[in-house]
A and B are shown apart, each in its own frame.
Chain A
């Protein structure tokens, strides 16, 4: 395999890894009110809007940052991680808000031209924002 092909393959793998999915749990203290603001986010890709291809790994101790062929972009899993976090610190959750996004017309990120047939490759994202008191 020529060097150019190896570089291209490496770049393709990097791009796939970067875009495959990512689970994040961010938190920040609001010192004036002694509260903690928490945001949990996960996203992933689906075939025909049903078959999970790749998404962020929402497990507590993930071996890999991605989950392949498993659906972790669900409100139940996101909220479970949020509630586990709240229980771990002995806090009460309030002000919980969901933000969901679904794109059914597959569009290569940054390319601006979608595949004209919808639901072939879909993108799903769920975010949960809340406050711990």
Chain B
């Protein structure tokens, strides 16, 4: 029972890296990485930017950085075959527990993906479903699933 409680506590206190893609209209990406710090500076656990949307965290390393968020965004751009980004912006949030004993630090980055030639949403739907199914069916599936956020932890 104690071991289970310890595992649950560790899971709750570990960081989390997520990359959320929303295809309702323009393709929007939201990247978030968070981590816990002891006495404001010592990193305890933070999300693993190499494995977003997975139950994976990095211990004693500072991964909550703008650079890691941009790396995750670049990976999403490669996967979605985007040519660029529009309205790229980021911000950070801090929460404290017992003054400075524990701090949760999170970095949020969001952007709209830009595609060359075709409109963003059409390109993303065509590439996402066109390969697996017939092209006519892919259009319908894409419209039905369009509002779902992908890969949210």
Residues in chain A within 8 A of chain B (CB atoms): 14-15, 18-19, 26-33, 35, 37, 39, 41, 95, 97, 99, 108-111, 127, 129-131
25 of the cross-chain contacts (CB-CB < 8 Å) are A14-B100, A15-B100, A18-B41, A19-B100, A26-B66, A26-B67, A30-B73, A30-B85, A30-B88, A31-B74, A33-B84, A35-B88, A37-B109, A39-B66, A39-B90, A39-B92, A41-B91, A41-B92, A97-B89, A110-B98, A110-B99, A110-B100, A111-B98, A129-B89, A129-B90
Residues in chain B within 8 A of chain A (CB atoms): 39-41, 65-67, 69-71, 73-74, 77-78, 84-92, 96-102, 109
Tell me which residues across on chain A come within 8 A of B89, comparing CB atoms: 95, 97, 129-130
Tell me which residues across on chain A come within 8 A of B40, comparing CB atoms: 18-19
Q: Are A28 and B69 in contact (CB under 8 A)?
A: yes
Cβ distance B52 to chain A, nearest Cβ, rounded Å: 16
Tell me which residues across on chain A come within 8 A of B92, comparing CB atoms: 39, 41, 127
**B-side binding surface: helix, strand, loop or mixed?**
mixed
Tell me which residues across on chain A come within 8 A of B39, comparing CB atoms: 14, 18
The answer to whether residues A110 and B97 also contact, given A37-B88, A99-B91 and a CB cut-off of 8 A, is yes
Among A28, A29, A33, A41: residue with most chain B CB under 10 A:
A28
Cβ distance B110 to chain A, nearest Cβ, rounded Å: 10
Cβ distance B10 to chain A, nearest Cβ, rounded Å: 20
Cβ distance A98 to chain B, nearest Cβ, rounded Å: 9
**A-side binding surface: helix, strand, loop or mixed?**
strand
Tell me which residues across on chain A come within 8 A of B99, comparing CB atoms: 15, 19, 108-111
Tell me which residues across on chain B come within 8 A of A95, comparing CB atoms: 86-89
Q: Are A39 and B91 in contact (CB under 8 A)?
A: yes
Tell me which residues across on chain B come within 8 A of A31, comparing CB atoms: 74
Q: Are A30 and B66 in contact (CB under 8 A)?
A: no
Cβ distance B108 to chain A, nearest Cβ, rounded Å: 9
Among A30, A95, A111: residue with most chain B CB under 10 A:
A30
Given contacts A32-B84, A109-B96, 9 further A-B contacts (CB under 8 A): A18-B41, A26-B66, A29-B70, A30-B88, A37-B90, A97-B87, A110-B100, A129-B91, A131-B88
The 6 A-B pairs with the shortest beta carbon distances in the complex, nearest first, are A109-B96, A28-B70, A129-B89, A26-B66, A28-B67, A97-B89
Q: Are A28 and B66 in contact (CB under 8 A)?
A: yes
The answer to whether residues A33 and B85 also contact, given A110-B96, A127-B91 and a CB cut-off of 8 A, is yes
